[in-house]
Amino acid sequence: MTAKGGHSDENLLQLIASKEQELEHRVAQAREQARALIDDAQREAAALLEQSRREAAQFAERTQAEIARESEAAAAQRLAQAEADAKQVSARAAERMDRAIDLVVTRVMGGLS
């Protein structure tokens, strides 16, 4: 028997089978491309994640180093201030030593009379 377009039923079945195989092949290719895209995306995501982790670790190291420097600077400043205060107190005590000795001697001598 002949179908409308001049093709026999057998030819139509072969044409349908051929088109079906072609579509299956295209679907398989599309699936393979999709798998490849997913694999690429996963690799890129893993690389970005690793890069982000490295950058975060570097930032943490820099921040800790900066905090340590600032803490050391503040401690050095407090130490310098404490030393300056101690020198000032010692200087005032030395200035008043003669007067203190005179006062002690006067009171001791006054108590003896």
pLDDT of 5: 56
The domain containing residue 76 runs over which residues? 1-80
Q: Which residues contact 84 (CB under 8 A, 6 or more apart)?
A: none
In a domain, 103, yes or no: no
pLDDT, average across residues 8-17: 90
Residue 75 CA to residue 64 CA, distance in Å, equals: 16
Q: What CA–CA distance (Å, rounded) separates 46 from 39?
A: 10
Look at the pTM and tell me if it is higher than 0.75.
no
Asked if the model's pLDDT at residue 1 lies above 90, the reply is: no
Structural domain contains residue 100 = no
Q: What's the structural domain count of the chain?
A: 1
Report d(CA 12, CA 74) in Å as an integer: 90
* 98 within domain boundaries: no
93 found inside a domain: no
User: What does the pLDDT read at residue 55?
Assistant: 98
Taking the C-alpha atoms of residue 44 and residue 37, their distance in angstroms, rounded to an integer, is: 10
Q: What pLDDT is recorded for position 100? A: 86
pLDDT bracket for residue 6 (50, 70, 90) = low
Residue 18 lies in a domain: yes
The 10s digit of each residue's pLDDT in 43-102 is 999 999 999 999 999 999 999 999 999 999 999 999 999 999 999 999 998 888 888 888
Does residue 16 sit within a domain?
yes
Q: Does residue 35 contact residue 43 with C-beta atoms inside 8 Å?
A: no
Least confident of 8-12, 20-24, 74-78: 8-12
